[in-house]
């Protein structure tokens, strides 16, 4: 850890279980971060940076902000956003999702403003939603990450973004438009089918109605056709679930 900034890493109860050290002189041949070796008490994928500090405020506010790096979490803490944790990377693990679920709070993903952060937002959001976690998204513009954004624009600008996060489904609808030219029939059909596929997995009737209405109005599509298509996708999903249950029952019998 020589010539690096060293960060203590805590478990969920506030016990120091390891360390992470970051370069700060712009060294090109060195890894950006070095972590303590994993032990019985420290497994990186089972911790969330700052969780022990953030959990009480997250329970009180009923929301937790999730960022990528230490500096993002520290900058938000200094700016008054104390209900913040960092993944220490981009991929969210099952253990980290379990820690977030224990808070019984909505999760606001605020990951880096690059392609890796965009992909991580989509993937992590999917996993959170699958696990029954109410999920929202903030995508900052201009700077690479929340730390740089606050330095450049001030904490008030960040807090304004925090006041108006997108629902994960709203984010997903925008995400599905990536690399598509919706003036082309094929791209538009792919986009609508992808939205309907996601919508078919939702149990929220209002979300379904609003989304179908929006698709119908924006792209001049028949509501009847959209509803019919959605119904067919639901039947396919139900059959897949039935087959999965049958397969699991057979395995248990065997």
Predicted TM-score of the model (pTM): 0.85
Quick one: what percent of the chain has pLDDT higher than 70?
A: 91
pLDDT digits (tens, 9 = 90+) for 5-59: 999 999 999 999 999 999 888 777 778 889 999 999 999 999 999 999 999 999 9
Backbone angle region of 26, left / alpha / beta, with phi > 0 → left and psi within -120 to 50 → alpha:
left
Region 160-177 average pLDDT: 94
Give the integer Cα–Cα distance in Å for 77 and 60. Answer: 16
DSSP the chain: -TTSEEEEEE-TTS-EEEEEEE--S--SSS-SEEEPPP-SS--GGG--BTHHHHHHHHHHHTEEEEESSHHHHHHHHHTT--SEEE-SSSPPPHHHHHHHHHTTSEEEE---SSHHHHHHHHHHHHHHHHTT--EEE----SSSSHHHHHHHH-HHHHHHHHHSPEEHHHHHHHHTTTT--TTSHHHHHHHHHHHHHHHTT---HHHHHHHHHHHHHHHT--HHHHHHHHHHHHHHHHHHHHHHHHHHHHHHH-
Region 208-229 average pLDDT: 89
Structure tokens at 189: 């059909």
Region 179-198 average pLDDT: 90
pLDDT digits (tens, 9 = 90+) for 113-160: 999 999 999 999 999 999 999 999 999 988 889 999 999 999 999 999
Structure confidence at residue 3 (pLDDT): 86
Q: How far does CA 30 lie from the centroid of its chain?
A: 29
């Amino acid at each position: 850890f020589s010539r690096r900034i060293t960060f203590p890493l805590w478990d969920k109860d506030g016990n120091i279980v390891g360390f992470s050290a970051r370069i700060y002189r712009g060294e090109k041949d060195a890894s950006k971060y070095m972590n303590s070796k994993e032990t019985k008490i420290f497994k990186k994928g089972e911790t969330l940076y700052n969780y022990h500090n953030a959990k009480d405020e997250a329970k009180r506010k009923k929301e937790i902000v999730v960022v990528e790096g230490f500096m993002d979490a520290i900058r938000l803490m200094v700016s008054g956003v104390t209900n913040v944790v960092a993944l220490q990377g981009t991929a969210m693990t099952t253990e980290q999702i379990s820690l977030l679920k224990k808070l019984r709070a909505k999760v606001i993903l605020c990951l880096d403003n690059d392609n890796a952060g965009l992909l991580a937002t989509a993937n992590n959001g999917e996993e959170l939603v699958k696990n029954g976690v109410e999920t929202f998204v903030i995508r900052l513009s201009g700077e690479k990450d929340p730390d740089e954004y606050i330095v450049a624009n001030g904490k008030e600008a960040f807090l304004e973004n925090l006041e108006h996060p997108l629902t994960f489904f709203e984010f997903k609808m925008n995400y599905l438009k990536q690399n598509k030219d919706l003036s082309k029939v094929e791209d538009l059909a792919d986009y609508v089918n992808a939205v309907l596929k996601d919508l078919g997995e939702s149990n929220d009737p209002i979300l379904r109605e609003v989304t179908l209405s929006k698709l119908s109005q924006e792209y001049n599509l028949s509501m009847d056709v959209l509803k019919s298509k959605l119904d067919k996708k639901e039947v396919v999903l139900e059959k897949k679930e039935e087959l999965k249950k049958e397969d699991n029952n057979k395995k248990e019998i065997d």
